[in-house]
Amino acid sequence: SMTIVGLTCIFAGQTLVITKFPVLRDFSFYILSIILLFLFALDEKILWYESLLLLLGYASYVFWMTQNRKIARAMHSRGGFLKTLTDDYIADVERRAKEAEEKEAKKAAKEEGDAEAGEPKPKEGGVGFTPTAYDANAEGADKSSAASAAPAASPAGSAKPSFIRTLSFTLRNSKSFVAFRKNTSAYKCIAKVQKAFSWPLTTAFKLSMPESMRDKCKYWFMWNFGVSVAWICILITCVLIFTTRVGCILNIPGIVMGTIVLSSGTSVPDSLSSIIVARKGEGDMAIANVLGSNIFNIFVCLGFSWMLWNIAEGPYEANALKGNLWFPIMIVLVYSCFLLIAFIVSRWRLTKKLGFSLIFLHMTFIALTLLTNSIGGKKPVLLLPNTPGWSDGR
């Protein structure tokens, strides 16, 4: 989460002011999930009621979210510190409600004007044409059209191009990439290798989710969603098996592979989505995406998995719970408190300076993880309690 928030602060393209109440709400549930995980892992096994408590923790989070505005208004009406805590959130809610009313009023007025003028209304759900980015180096391209090479916005011209589209366009038209593309032998070789590796997956995706059914079945999106989830589960299982075996071959503990390798891969989607919404000025949504995903991972992903194991096999006992698991959990808890303190010190603003500081803290966490674990069969640099040889090294 440190890296995701840090990258969001750096690539937001602006200094964002976040709202105290929703951030503190998510932090409270996140810290609660870490504390419960720490307590449950102390005896190196997970019982059924412990996994049930994790699931109930997420249920309470969902219930809070359904009553979020009512709770905020109740706290605001109490006055004092609670009023100060929710002032900016209540003001933001009222502002958004007013903007929504004005938008609906303008839409209704425009529809009435179009009806009086006799102009046909656009079809509901119609898809507008959005021009794609122009490639000035494409074969047969009109060089005089190079001025249109910038990423195109929406037909209305008011919306900014998405961060992913802008980044993709910038990379594809950079001097280094253009120079590399001119070296056709290397470019074609890499393209063929990429196509060979991706062909089995793309073929399986097309066969399991045929596009031809989209127009024939109104609810085909439900099938696509279910199959997409199934494919994600299959691919995640493959990545987990591959990572575990590589760690076994290189004699690297699973906790190191998890906190460095697997966490890096799973953080990419969260980072991109947080950066995208941050560039649109939604700082609260960017932070909520990070904290909310971590809350879901601990409460639901771990809780539900452990509950299934307890039902099928009894108490969950694995090597992952043995040793010094308490140390990285405690570090995550301390770092979460640091992140909250950093928000308070920066006066609830997301700045580049804050982003670089958070990334530095995450690098420190990785360094501590490497130093306190045995890698390649060698003795850890920093010995912790329950580590063989700890009593001799004191």
CA 302 to each of CA 36, 180, 227: distance values in angstroms, whole numbers, following the listed order = 12, 45, 23
Half-sphere exposure in the Cβ direction for 264 (13 Å, CA): 9
R_g of the chain, CA atoms, integer Å: 26
Which amino acid, one-letter code, is at 358?
L
The 10 Å CB-count burial string (b at 16+, else e) for 54-76 is: bbebbeebeeebeeeeeebeebb
Give the pLDDT mean for 122-130.
46
CB of 244 closer than 8 Å to CB of 253? no
Question: How deeply is 379 buried, as exposed, middle or buried, from its count of CB atoms within 10 A (0-12, 13-18, 19+)?
Answer: exposed
DSSP 317-349: --GGGSSSTHHHHHHHHHHHHHHHHHHHHTTSE
Q: Looking at residue 194, what is its pLDDT?
A: 80
In this prediction the pTM is 0.70
Task: Collect all residues with Cβ–Cβ distance below 8 Å to 235 and sequence separation of at least 6.
Answer: none
Least confident of 59-73, 126-140, 249-263, 280-294: 126-140
Q: Looking at residue 213, what is its pLDDT?
A: 74
Q: How far apart are CA 360 and CA 324, in angstroms?
A: 23
Which amino acid, one-letter code, is at 116?
E
Task: Collect all residues with Cβ–Cβ distance below 8 Å to 228 and sequence separation of at least 6.
Answer: 209
Q: How far apart are CA 200 and CA 202, in angstroms?
A: 6
pLDDT band at 162 (very low <50, low <70, confident <90, very high): low
Which amino acid, one-letter code, is at 372?
T
Output the CA torsion sign for 378, 384, 388, 390.
positive
Q: Looking at residue 386, what is its pLDDT?
A: 56
Most confident segment among 94-98, 175-179, 274-278, 296-300: 296-300
| Closest CA relative to residue 253, chosen from 139, 380, 162 | 380
Which amino acid, one-letter code, is at 260?
I
Q: Looking at residue 79, what is its pLDDT?
A: 84
Least confident of 131-145, 158-172, 227-241, 325-339: 131-145
Q: What is the mean pLDDT of the chain?
A: 77
Q: How far apart are CA 262 and CA 243, in angstroms?
A: 8
Q: How far apart are CA 364 and CA 3, in angstroms?
A: 11
> Which is more confident, 211 or 119?
211
Q: Looking at residue 390, what is its pLDDT?
A: 47
* Residue 330 CA, distance from chain mean position: 22
- For residue 307, pLDDT beyond 90: yes
Helices in the chain by DSSP H: which ranges?
2-11, 20-41, 48-66, 68-78, 80-117, 163-172, 175-182, 184-208, 220-249, 254-256, 263-279, 283-296, 303-313, 326-345, 352-371, 390-393
> Which is more confident, 299 or 130?
299
Percent of the chain with pLDDT over 70: 75
Give the pLDDT mean for 223-230.
88
